[in-house]
Amino acid sequence: MELTRSDLQFAHSMLDLKVIPALRRLGLVELSFNLVSLSNSPFVELISQLDALFLGDSIPHRPVPAYLVPAFDRTRFACYNDQDATDDVYSYFLRAGAQHIKLIGLVERLEDLATKELSSLTSKIQAVTQLRLRSLCFENRPWHTNGSRSLAREEEQVGAVEAFKEVCREKEILFYHENGRRFVFEPEISEIFTGIVEGIRKKDQKERDELAAKNANA
């Protein structure tokens, strides 16, 4: 199920376990800035049954409500780091404890800028001491080239990509690619992300079981 700005007037009544008891995946494409207004609504209870929650147009100067934090393990924030913005979007979500982020807008930018931004993102990931990030989704492949760049710039791009991949390996962050939406009415809900969340859940459960067995035999 996916709601957009035009559904705002119905959001409070629709986002209720009594109305949609079987809902497992929800996308709020243009409503994420109204999450605070849903703090005292049935939506808070509905979140507990979701397998995946997709939040579009996430804006850092609007705080993430506390009720959403327990669902961070299955919530993907869409993140557009506007070069003209005063707030650093990447740093905000990393510090806020976001576990899954979709990076928006690189596909629309010049390759040099994408390379610079990838390097900046790598540095920001390294700088967070209590990092909770588990996955990063790219709308395009920032390491794709069209063969028209100079050798020096190609090497710069390769270096930025390798540094990013190394940090992801070190921090155990999964990164993947999805095609960007061409039209606003195309769904934000992702089968890939739903599978990633389930895979991480099983991995974490296996590690907990192994630790429990080890402690029991100690």
How long, in residues, is the chain? 218
Count of domains for the chain? 1
Residue 86: pLDDT band (50, 70, 90) is: very low
Q: What is the per-residue pLDDT for 182?
A: 54
Q: State yes or no: pLDDT of 63 exceeds 80.
A: no
pLDDT: which is higher, 82 or 137:
137
Q: What is the per-residue pLDDT for 160?
A: 83
Residue 54: pLDDT band (50, 70, 90) is: confident
**pLDDT (average), residues 62-91:** 75
Phi-psi region for residue 210, left (φ > 0), alpha (ψ -120 to 50) or beta? alpha
Contact 78, 56 (CB under 8 A): yes
Q: Structure pTM?
A: 0.80
Domain membership of residue 98 as a residue range: 2-217
Contact 96, 66 (CB under 8 A): no
Token output for 100: 């899954």
pLDDT: which is higher, 84 or 52:
52
**pLDDT (average), residues 112-116:** 68
CA–CA separation, 53 vs 74, rounded Å? 6
Q: What is the per-residue pLDDT for 81?
A: 60
Residues 6+ apart with CB under 8 A from 106: 114, 117, 138, 139, 140, 142
Q: What is the per-residue pLDDT for 68?
A: 87
Q: State yes or no: pLDDT of 183 exceeds 60.
A: no
Q: What is the per-residue pLDDT for 72?
A: 93
**Residue 38 CB neighbours (<10 A):** 20
